[in-house]
Amino acid sequence: MDVLPRQAADAVVNMAADQMLLEHYPAPDRVRFRPFAWSEPSYTFGVSQSWAKYRALVPANIPLVRRCTGGGLVSHLDDWTFALVIPPAHPLFKADAMATYAAVHEALLAALLAQGQPVKLSPVPEGQREFQAPDACAHRAEPNDLVRSDDGRKVAGAAQKRNRHGLLIEGYVWKPFLTGCDWLRFEKDFLTQLGSILQSAPVDVAEPVYDQFDHEGTWAKFASKEWNERI
């Protein structure tokens, strides 16, 4: 598993970087992981959601950018975020969304339990689930999301995009609900657990060098009104 350097950027750059990681990574057969931070408070929202609805909810001075993954509105005011790409040849690529969420969140769970944090996986309900809109996905826990074991508040969630290039998982952990967490230790423990689950040991790599045309085109997409306001 290639582990890229942690970098901070704005919402446009971060969302573009995640899609580049999926579609233009120079070692496409490798599992790759990108931890990242936000250079300014931001919100993102799912690829199939309404711009107008969420723009009305987010303060006008805070950027709002459409992700290439699903889900609803997510606040990036104080979270720990990452992108993971699983290539098509990996066994987990063909698994359903529930299984891939579970794999990633089991690694998150183990890393947080190692520090005594009160967390658990949200249970998978029996029988058929009723459809629920993703509007409040940052607050309502879905099956295999990570929640606090004492009061049920959602701690971590993720969204996915699967195409011929691989499976992109964009995930976050809400830091204010995990008082006293050592985030440097958490990152190390999470990568160890994730590498074990994916059978791909973490290896630090340099920031990838992308084709300039692909890089500029992807950035322009996420910065454009046509992308962000298309629905």
Query: Residue 8: helix, strand or coil by DSSP?
Result: strand
Between CA 220 and CA 90 the distance in angstroms is 31
% of the chain beyond a pLDDT of 90: 89
| Mean pLDDT calculated for residue range 80-86 | 98
CA angle 5, 161, 156 (to 5 degrees): 65
Q: Which of 15-19, 34-38, 94-98, 116-120 has the least mean pLDDT?
A: 94-98
Residue tagged 């009104």 (tokens): 225
pLDDT reading at 33 higher than 80: yes
* Digit-coded pLDDT (tens) for 104-139: 999 999 999 999 999 999 886 554 434 344 444 455
What's this model's pTM, rounded to 2 decimal places?
0.93
Among residues 174, 128, 125, the alpha carbon closest in space to that of 147 is found at 174
* Digit-coded pLDDT (tens) for 142-200: 788 899 999 999 999 999 999 999 999 999 999 999 999 999 999 999 999 999 999 99
Burial 80-116 (b: 16+ CB within 10 A, else e): bbbbbbbbeebebeeeebeebbbbbbbbbbbbbeeee
Domains and CATH numbers, the chain: 2-123+135-228 (3.30.930.10)
